[in-house]
């Protein structure tokens, strides 16, 4: 169905090739997962399969041949052949064309010349499957980040192409939504023989759905095989900048301690536990190893009291939300797409005003504080960093806030290089931020906020679309600021981040708070997890399955891979 032969592609002559002699073939109905670090060539590979390379890019150099769905796509006008090849692009918001959600999703199928009734039926069906049926008549501009991605997916699915290429399509979806979309892809493959190419950072999702995984590195296919083959070599994955599934990492640690432990690398918590249980020592040692919850006692720096927010079109996005956050806390806000997370956090920096109730920042009612004054105590990073980046160079972008507050030139010349070094972007000082990758743009956005040394940092989805190393780097920096006293509130769908970094979770569902309590306990509240569309990470599943056996309360089980590996090493009978 897809055949690439010796494909080499350079966007510009003086750049290294984005694709370097890539050959691959994909059979009809195969589900291929593509992983790899930022800049490794994943999107370029997708463009090549779609037939956008070389035609859509001027000035590049192309060699090799690409045949997709029976067409030599690199040669012809085949990029218009959307009846056979469908693509969901990485930045979903750039795809919206219609004035309503329904129109937007119909655009593709209408252009295929399908009968009106077929278009309406299909579009309605897929909008329902991505859970946007209630938003039919709204403008795409009013959708949340995750809803926007869902719309882009529905529009492409409604064309029912033979080959579906999806470039990190579910990065902003809630964990349950990710699985639902993959279930749809899997069904299309099974029922209609659709070939699926999915680029995705989450190894657990790929391990669960893909027949074959490719790791891209430096424009080449560095490894490929079944998920078990590829992820089984956890070390090789890490060397290529790819995070292996947690079960593979744990298995690797056990193998290191006890010699050959697993005949086959476990890819799910169930597989992991099945082989482990018979080898766990019988005598439970009742000590708790989890980190004790430290009660925070600082002043309240963020407060919402009975907050409601009704948008201009009448939609009630927040309903009676009450919460209080103390100075020095690290809080994660999680929940279903459209639950109101972004709407809520925008109240903390005054972009949105409550239509009922009260919001206080640093003890002051935000209605009585001018937005610029608010920015002195609170730093806010948008869900999409591009919504805040505007300066022509990284240096100026990062310097801007200091200028606004009249910080002297001398002081600025000290602080800008300092913060650039913290984020490891000093070499990019003269680069235009918009030419950078998502991870680097995210760093620029964060640096430009943190340079102001805000007491409180509110960040909306700081790790989406970042590769593993970029994630770890950014989260480590946040940890440092937290350790030196900054209050951190992060909106996220990344449950590993929640588990390992935040101390408290606020889960939102349909504009209300569904849970507010310690992160360590959150993952064991089955009803809340269902309500907020949260899926457990394998490590939390393992903790739940093993807690009783090792004699530790589930919420006291270790929250990190290292911690869990150490505990198990103690409890496994040699
Ligand atoms: N400008 C707007 N006008 C009308 N409705 C809006 C507007 N912005 C957001 N909404 C709706 O309000 C609800 C909450 O949106 P919000 O962006 O707060 O969700 P979220 O929890 O951040 O979701 P995500 O995880 O997808 O980012 C959604 O149903 C969304 O469609
Ligand atoms: Mg949001």
- Closest residue to atom 13 of ligand 1, CA basis: 338
- How far is the centre of ligand 2, averaged over its atoms, from the C-alpha of 146 (Å)? 7
Number of domains the chain contains: 3
**Within 10 A of 333 (CB to CB), how many other CB atoms are there?**
27
- Closest residue to atom 6 of ligand 1, CA basis: 142
Ligand nearest to the CA of 317: 1
Task: Please state, in angstroms and rounded to a whole number, the distance separating the CA atoms of residues 564 and 305.
Answer: 39
Residue 559 belongs to some domain of the structure: yes
Based on the fold, state whether residues 251 and 327 are members of the same structural domain.
Answer: no
- How far is the centre of ligand 1, averaged over its atoms, from the C-alpha of 249 (Å)? 36
How do residues 530-573 score in pLDDT, each as one tens digit? 988 898 889 999 999 998 888 888 888 898 899 999 998 888 87
Based on the fold, state whether residues 140 and 262 are members of the same structural domain.
Answer: no
Contact 19, 44 (CB under 8 A): yes
DSSP 241: T
Structure confidence at residue 573 (pLDDT): 77
Based on the fold, state whether residues 266 and 226 are members of the same structural domain.
Answer: no
Grade residue 272 by pLDDT with cuts at 50, 70 and 90.
Answer: very high
**Within 10 A of 411 (CB to CB), how many other CB atoms are there?**
10
Is the minimum distance from the CB of 340 to ligand 1 under 6 angstroms?
A: yes
- Would the pLDDT of 409 be above 90? yes
Residue 291 belongs to some domain of the structure: no
Is the minimum distance from the CB of 40 to ligand 1 under 6 angstroms?
A: no
Based on the fold, state whether residues 554 and 465 are members of the same structural domain.
Answer: no
Mean pLDDT in the chain?
90
Residue 287 belongs to some domain of the structure: no
How do residues 2-61 score in pLDDT, each as one tens digit? 999 999 999 988 889 999 999 999 999 999 999 999 889 999 999 999 988 888 887 889
Based on the fold, state whether residues 446 and 466 are members of the same structural domain.
Answer: yes
Grade residue 295 by pLDDT with cuts at 50, 70 and 90.
Answer: low
Residue 518 belongs to some domain of the structure: yes
- How far is the centre of ligand 1, averaged over its atoms, from the C-alpha of 497 (Å)? 22
Structure confidence at residue 259 (pLDDT): 84
Based on the fold, state whether residues 493 and 557 are members of the same structural domain.
Answer: no
| CB-neighbour burial class of residue 19 (10 A; exposed 0-12, middle 13-18, buried 19+) | buried
How do residues 99-121 score in pLDDT, each as one tens digit? 899 999 999 899 888 899 999 99
- Site to probe by mutation for ligand 1, drawn from 130, 340, 354, 382 as the one with most ligand atoms within 8 Å of Cβ, is 340
Residue 284 belongs to some domain of the structure: no
Residue 286 belongs to some domain of the structure: no
Contact 488, 378 (CB under 8 A): no
Is the minimum distance from the CB of 177 to ligand 1 under 6 angstroms?
A: no
Structure confidence at residue 21 (pLDDT): 96
Based on the fold, state whether residues 48 and 186 are members of the same structural domain.
Answer: yes
Element (H, E) at 191: helix 175-192
Which ligand 1 atom sits nearest the alpha carbon of residue 461? Answer: 27
Is the minimum distance from the CB of 338 to ligand 1 under 6 angstroms?
A: yes
For 257, phi then psi, to 5°, come to -80, -40
Based on the fold, state whether residues 251 and 235 are members of the same structural domain.
Answer: no
Residue 215 belongs to some domain of the structure: yes
Q: Which residues contact 523 (CB under 8 A, 6 or more apart)?
A: 495, 499, 529, 536, 540, 543, 544, 555
Is the minimum distance from the CB of 159 to ligand 1 under 6 angstroms?
A: no
- Site to probe by mutation for ligand 1, drawn from 136, 315, 347 as the one with most ligand atoms within 8 Å of Cβ, is 315
- Closest residue to atom 16 of ligand 1, CA basis: 340
How do residues 414-448 score in pLDDT, each as one tens digit? 999 999 999 999 999 999 998 888 888 999 999 99
Based on the fold, state whether residues 233 and 275 are members of the same structural domain.
Answer: no
Strands 163-167 and 512-518: unpaired
- Would the pLDDT of 251 be above 60? yes
CATH no. for residue 416?
Answer: 3.40.50.300
Based on the fold, state whether residues 238 and 251 are members of the same structural domain.
Answer: no
Based on the fold, state whether residues 468 and 329 are members of the same structural domain.
Answer: yes
Residue 295 belongs to some domain of the structure: no
Based on the fold, state whether residues 170 and 220 are members of the same structural domain.
Answer: yes
- Would the pLDDT of 78 be above 60? no
The parent domain of residue 204 ranges over: 2-243
Sign of the Cα torsion 194, 200, 202, 207 reads: positive
Task: Please state, in angstroms and rounded to a whole number, the distance separating the CA atoms of residues 11 and 100.
Answer: 35
């Amino acid at each position: 169905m897809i055949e690439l032969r010796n494909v080499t592609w350079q966007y510009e002559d003086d750049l290294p090739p984005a694709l370097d002699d890539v050959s691959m073939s994909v059979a009809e109905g195969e589900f291929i997962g593509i992983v790899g670090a930022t800049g490794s060539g994943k999107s370029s590979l997708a463009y090549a399969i779609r037939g956008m390379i070389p035609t859509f890019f001027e000035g590049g150099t192309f060699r090799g041949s690409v045949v997709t769905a029976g067409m030599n796509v690199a040669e012809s006008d085949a990029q218009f052949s959307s009846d056979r090849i469908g693509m969901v692009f990485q930045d979903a918001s750039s795809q919206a064309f219609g004035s309503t959600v329904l129109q937007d999703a119909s655009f593709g199928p209408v252009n295929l010349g399908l009968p009106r009734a077929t278009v309406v039926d299909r579009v309605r069906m897929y909008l329902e499957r991505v859970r946007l049926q209630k938003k039919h008549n709204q403008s795409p501009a009013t959708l949340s980040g995750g809803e926007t991605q869902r719309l882009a997916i529905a529009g492409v699915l409604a064309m029912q192409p033979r080959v579906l290429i999806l470039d990190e399509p579910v990065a902003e979806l809630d964990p349950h939504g990710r699985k639902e979309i993959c279930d749809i892809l899997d069904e299309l493959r099974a029922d209609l023989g659709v070939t699926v190419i999915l680029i995705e950072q989450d190894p657990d999702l790929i391990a669960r759905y893909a027949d074959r995984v490719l790791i891209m590195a430096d424009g080449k296919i560095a490894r490929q095989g079944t998920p078990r083959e590829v992820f089984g070599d956890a070390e090789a994955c890490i060397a290529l900048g790819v995070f292996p599934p947690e079960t593979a990492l744990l298995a690797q640690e056990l193998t290191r301690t006890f010699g050959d432990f697993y005949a086959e690398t476990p890819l799910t918590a169930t597989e992991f536990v099945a082989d482990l249980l018979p080898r766990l020592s019988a005598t439970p040692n009742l000590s708790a190893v989890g980190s004790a919850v430290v009660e925070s006692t600082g002043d309240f720096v963020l407060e919402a009291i009975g907050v409601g927010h009704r948008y201009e079109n009448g939609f009630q996005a927040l309903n009676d939300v009450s919460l209080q956050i103390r100075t020095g806390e690290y809080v994660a806000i999680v929940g279903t797409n459209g639950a109101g997370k972004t709407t809520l956090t925008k109240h903390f920096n005054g972009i949105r005003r409550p239509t009922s109730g009260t919001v206080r920042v640093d003890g002051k009612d935000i209605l009585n504080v001018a937005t610029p004054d608010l920015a002195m105590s609170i730093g806010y990073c948008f869900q999409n960093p591009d919504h805040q980046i505007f300066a022509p160079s990284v240096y100026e972008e990062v310097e801007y806030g200091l200028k606004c507050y009249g910080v002297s030139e001398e002081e600025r010349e000290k602080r800008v290089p300092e913060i650039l070094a913290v984020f490891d972007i000093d070499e990019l000082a003269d680069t235009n931020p918009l030419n950078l990758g998502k991870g680097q743009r995210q760093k620029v956005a964060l640096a430009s906020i943190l340079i102001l040394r805000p007491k409180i940092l509110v960040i909306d989805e700081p790790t989406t679309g970042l590769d593993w190393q970029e994630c770890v780097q950014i989260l480590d920096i946040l940890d440092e600021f937290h350790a030196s006293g900054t209050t951190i509130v992060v909106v996220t769908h990344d449950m590993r981040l929640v588990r390992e970094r935040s101390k408290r979770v606020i889960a939102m569902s349909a504009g209300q708070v569904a849970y507010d309590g310690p992160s360590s306990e959150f993952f064991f509240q089955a009803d809340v997890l269902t309500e907020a569309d949260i899926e457990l990470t394998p490590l939390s599943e393992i903790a739940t399955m093993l807690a009783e056996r090792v004699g530790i309360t589930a919420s006291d089980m270790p929250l990190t891979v290292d911690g869990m590996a150490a505990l198990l090493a103690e409890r496994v009978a040699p």
